[in-house]
Amino acid sequence: MKESSVDKCQLSVIVPIYNARQYLRECLESIVAAVRGFAAEIICVDDGSTDESAVICRDYPVRLIVCEHRGAGVARNTGLAVAVGKYVHFVDADDTVVVGAYSDFLKLADKNELDMVRGNGISRDWRYRHMTVSPKVSRTPVVFEDCSLEILKLSVVPWLGIVRRSFIMEKSISFASTICGNDVTFFYDLLINGARMQLLRRPLVRHFSRPGSLIQQRHIYFTCDFENYNHVLLSSACLTPATRKIFLRVLLINLCNRLLSYKKSNVSNWNAIQGYAKEFFRSPDLSLREGINIGGIVKEVSNRAVKPFLYQNVRDKINSFWNILQNCFL
């Protein structure tokens, strides 16, 4: 983008890339088509790919940054540091942007002076949607304190919305440097810092979870879960007591559900995961969670998970999860 266009740039699309040659052309072609007609920039951050991803990027009107492999979170931060757009959108290299969506998102953001607009996502084969927009928070701009329970039902993934860049910079918000789940800290920090947001009932991206992606290997990098959630735990101290109680309850339920998914998957490192869980829930930071029955939360999650399963061996595994973790709380 020319220097004279910097002040007019409406949108920076940031794409972290790691060995994505099989999907990258379709992704970039969709973005180029989606930004056609208004001032935008496309920033591709090659996160140390060992394939031809960087070469492919040079076939498109993008700004390419090549760096050593440190994960998607750091790659997104690298792109954000050089972005000049009024708003930013983070797109995964194996996803595609829905043509025509950006115009609606930008118009709504400008009209209502929003810091964030969240939309919807659909799978590449159009079979399902990733998020159902709550009517309660889609009619008018809101902040987290207004309807925290409804907002916490939203997915944390960054590709489901655009964010005002100046808000991110003013609040010093960034993605965690953890290998997995780094979008957890980014989204929750936006909420905690009072981002004025609105939800739009239309898809922004078509998402594809490719074989071997990090989301399918989270049990290997399970320590990231505890690091990310501990960050959010400390950040939430600025919330009002009532909102923080709701926030922490949902946060702990999400973490317990994640641990439960590992247990049900028969992962080989369950003993190590269990050890980290005990350390996390017994930490001094628990003094911040006054009025929250953590043991009850875990029991509720486990009991809810048991109901759909009729096979006794599966029920036994889930009950075992509760029996192990209850010792962390009682």
Task: Look up residue 13 and give its amino acid.
Answer: V
Task: Classify domain 3-211 at the CATH topology level.
Answer: Spore Coat Polysaccharide Biosynthesis Protein SpsA; Chain A (3.90.550)
Contacts of 203 by beta carbon, 8 Å cutoff, 6+ apart = 98, 101, 119, 120, 121, 122, 129
Relative orientation angle of helices 294-306 and 312-325, to the nearest 10 degrees: 180
Query: Across residues 90-103, what is the average pLDDT?
Result: 95
Q: What is the pLDDT of residue 4?
A: 42
Are 208 and 121 within 8 A, CB to CB? no
Task: Look up residue 323 and give its amino acid.
Answer: N
Q: How many residues does the chain have?
A: 330
Is it the case that residue 79 has pLDDT exceeding 90?
yes
Q: pLDDT class for 329, splitting at 50, 70, 90? A: very low
Contacts of 197 by beta carbon, 8 Å cutoff, 6+ apart = 114, 115, 116, 117, 118, 137, 141, 142, 143, 151, 190
Cα separation, 185 vs 167, whole angstroms: 15
The domain limits of the chain are 3-211, 218-328
Per-residue pLDDT tens over the stretch 22-41: 999 999 999 999 999 989 99
Of 319, 321, 190, the C-alpha closest to 256 is 321
Is it the case that residue 44 has pLDDT exceeding 80?
yes
Give just the sign of the alpha carbon dihedral 223, 224, 225, 227.
positive
| Most confident stretch, 2-16, 51-65, 207-221 | 51-65
Cα separation, 105 vs 113, whole angstroms: 12
pTM (two decimals): 0.84
Q: pLDDT class for 266, splitting at 50, 70, 90? A: low
Whole-number Cα distances in Å, 180 to 217, 264, 305? 9, 20, 24
Token pair recorded at residue 86 = 């009024």
Of 262, 118, 102, 93, the C-alpha closest to 196 is 118
Query: Across residues 306-313, what is the average pLDDT?
Result: 47
Are 278 and 327 within 8 A, CB to CB? yes
The per-residue DSSP string of 54-78 comes to HHHHTTSS-EEEEE----HHHHHHH
Per-residue pLDDT tens over the stretch 125-158: 545 455 555 666 677 899 999 888 888 888 899 9
Q: Which of 46-50, 74-78, 230-234 has the lowest mean pLDDT?
A: 230-234
